[in-house]
Amino acid sequence: MGFMYNLIRSQFFTKLPVPTSSFAGQTVIITGANTGLGLEAARHIVRLGAEKVILAVRTVAKGEAAARDIISSTKVKSNTVEVWQLDLSDYESVKAFGARVATLDRLDAVIQNAGILTNNFDVLEDNESHITVNVISATLVGLGALPKLKETSIRFGVKTRLEFVGSDMQWIAKYKESETSGSILDALAKKEGADMGDRYAVSKLLLLYTVREIAARQPLGKARVIVDCVTPGACASDIFRDDMSWLRSVIQGFMVSLFARTTEVGSRALVHGVKPDLEDNAHGAFLQDCKVFPNGPNVDSPKGQQWAQRWIEEFFPKLESIQPGVTKVLS
């Protein structure tokens, strides 16, 4: 099954079901929740009865506006939705967020949705922006939340969920940085020769490698934490907002009207990936169209398996260098 066939089938011939699973009594964190997919996922989860939904956002004022919008549309109590600050471009912000998560009484699910897509080469912290935000900080947020997810699962006897938002673009990532004989992270941090048209896809491929490794190191046992990677498909979101020329705006507007899902429809996939009755086979899986889906050749081929092993061997020590002990939460 090729990428284009899969894309056309998914976008034009697959209808994502409206979420119906109850989140009653549960606490859910959603990053990047002040707009787009994150906002609509939060709205669904509040509608489905969650006790507390935390919008993790870079700009608190925008998060508070989103919270008011959700409360108004769902008619829930005002204290159902909280806004927490989180800046994925800043490792210290990520660490502080993890420390705050540890103070929660319970945590049932995390949707790690925040991310960027840009054609500009920018450095944030110690790497190119896609790698810092979409991979390194996203993983640190997930690992930071994992102890509370495990504790909640054991204490309340529930299945908790840790979801990373990926992309089907990982199927076609060229990932030329894999050709380096040195550090992959160093290769990704070099502006010279960087293929920014491929960088978003590469970041989502590396994220999937990471999600699969986290799941493998955290098998379902006494603590039942399902870790998965979900794509919402092509959606009419504002992920391009960081560098939108007038020409790209016109082109994107045309393509969106022809091809893309609304953010509400795409958010259904995100909610499915953290529903309380999520099937165990989602653990370590790539989900598309609300079901477990093939990982693609960049993951399952011999070459893809070599790429994944090499990435993990370099990446997990990198995480430890940023936040010592962070990977030790994996059992």
Catalytic residues: 200, 204
**What residues are paired with 56 via a beta bridge?**
31, 84
Q: What span, in angstroms and rounded, lies between the C-alpha atoms of 59 and 86?
A: 8
> Any idea which residue has 């769902």 for tokens?
74
CB atoms closer than 10 angstroms to residue 273: 26
Pairing of strands 286-288, 225-231: parallel
The beta strands (E) that lie in 88-126 are given as: 109-112, 123-124
Of 142, 177, 163, 125, which is closest to residue 38 (Cα–Cα)?
163
Question: Can you give 203-223 as a three-state secondary structure string?
Answer: HHHHHHHHHHHHHHHCCCCCC
Chain centroid to Cα 227, Å, comes to: 11
Burial class (CB in 10 A: 0-12, 13-18, 19+), 114: buried
Give the tokens for residue 51: 């006790």
Q: What span, in angstroms and rounded, lies between the C-alpha atoms of 291 and 272?
A: 9
CB 142 within 8 A of CB 112: yes
Alpha carbons within 13 A on the beta-carbon side of 175: 27
Q: What span, in angstroms and rounded, lies between the C-alpha atoms of 45 and 33?
A: 12
Chain centroid to Cα 47, Å, comes to: 21
**What residues are paired with 59 via a beta bridge?**
none
Residue 215 vs residues 49, 138, 143: alpha-carbon distances, Å: 28, 15, 11
